[in-house]
Amino acid sequence: MNLQSDDLAIRLGKMLAGFLVVVVLLLLNLTIVFSLQAGYSETNAIAHVRSCENKGPISWRGFGNNWNCTAVFQQDGTGGTWRATVDFNLFTPEEIGTPQRVLVSDGGGRIVSSENVEYHQSTGISPGAAGWIWTATTFVFIFPTLWVFSRSVVWSFSQEEQRKFWEKIYGTPEERAAKKEKDREFYRQIRQNRADRKEARRNGQRRQGKDPKKAARKRMRELERQRD
């Protein structure tokens, strides 16, 4: 099979394969992000887990288990109780029947119930470390994801359309070769300029009453203007 063919089926197949890779990359990112639980030393409630339902192995939170567990919560101090279903793997089936200390607060971040209440574990990595890891992971995944996505779109074009598209971005082969040669000449002149300045300093020469350093700097500015 010629993957460079202009056949519509092959072009669409390549595009769909690229989109599939994009989805996998996104799910991998979500898997790492949502597998990290931030732990809070301060707790204010006890949770009695009653049941759990696995939304995995593939969900919008990535690959693997994604437990949604129903628990009865009892507030410290007031003794008030309520029932809620919480996702984000806050609880697991192994914890059914064992009281769990949790932090309950208003707001509703990534772990929420219908009552707009946020729940956190008492064990886990520090919230600051979790935030840095989440940010770094997203930063690492965003560039390959965008690259594959853009390539997937271009793969749906014909070979001629792809050539024109990339030439608009990078220029024609002749233009790229000319630019490369111009850059080579520019850096060659810079190296020569530095060598001339070094030689002038070594010999202590002052030609025509002019400072060779100033002359060299002026020459470099002229080269930069020519390059632009």
Asked whether the predicted pLDDT for residue 113 surpasses 50, the reply is no
Buried b (16+ CB within 10 A) or exposed e, 119-132: bbbeeeeeeeebee
pLDDT of residue 111: 46
Query: Shortest CA distance to 91 belongs to which of 66, 117, 110?
Result: 66
Asked whether the predicted pLDDT for residue 223 surpasses 60, the reply is yes
**Confidence band, pLDDT 50/70/90 cuts, at residue 17:** very high
Q: Higher model confidence: residue 105 or residue 228?
A: 105
